[in-house]
Amino acid sequence: MTSYRTAEIAGALAVVGLLAACTTIGPVNDAPAAVASARTAQDHEKLAAYFDVKVKRYENEAADHAALAQGYARFAGRVNVGGAEHCRGLEGRFKDAAGEARSLAALHRDLAAKAQ
C-alpha cells in the first residue's frame, strides 16, 4: 500500500510540476529593457507580473511606515524627532507608487490581450 501511495503522490507532483513549467513566465530582470522590447503577449504578461510584485512591495512598505509612524508618535511632546511625519510622508508616497504600479500592470495586461 505505501509504495502505491508514494507512486500516486510522485505522479501528482510530476503533473503539477509540468503544469507549472508550462504556465510559468520568467521574471523580468531588466525592466527598462523589457518595456522597450515588449512585443508579444508573453512579454506584456511578464511585465504585468513584474508590476504586481512591485505593488505588493510598495503596499508592504506603506504598511511598515504606517506602523513606524505610530511608534514615533508615542514620543510626541517629549522629543521632537520628526519621525512620525517622515514615516507618514513615506507611507503616502509608497501608497501612490503602489497605485501607479497597479496601473502599469493593468496597462500591460491590456497590451497582452491586444497582442494575441
Q: How many CB atoms lie within 10 A of CB 105?
A: 20
pLDDT value of residue 10: 45
Cβ contact 94:62 at 8 Å: yes
- Tens digit of each residue's pLDDT (9 = 90 or more) over 28-68: 788 999 999 999 999 999 999 999 999 999 999 999 999 99
pLDDT value of residue 116: 78
| Helix residue ranges per DSSP H, 1-116 | 2-23, 31-37, 41-73, 83-115
Q: Write down the pTM of the prediction.
A: 0.72
pLDDT value of residue 76: 78
pLDDT surpasses 90 at 108: yes
* Distance in Å from the first CA to the final CA of the chain: 48
Domain limits, the chain: 27-115
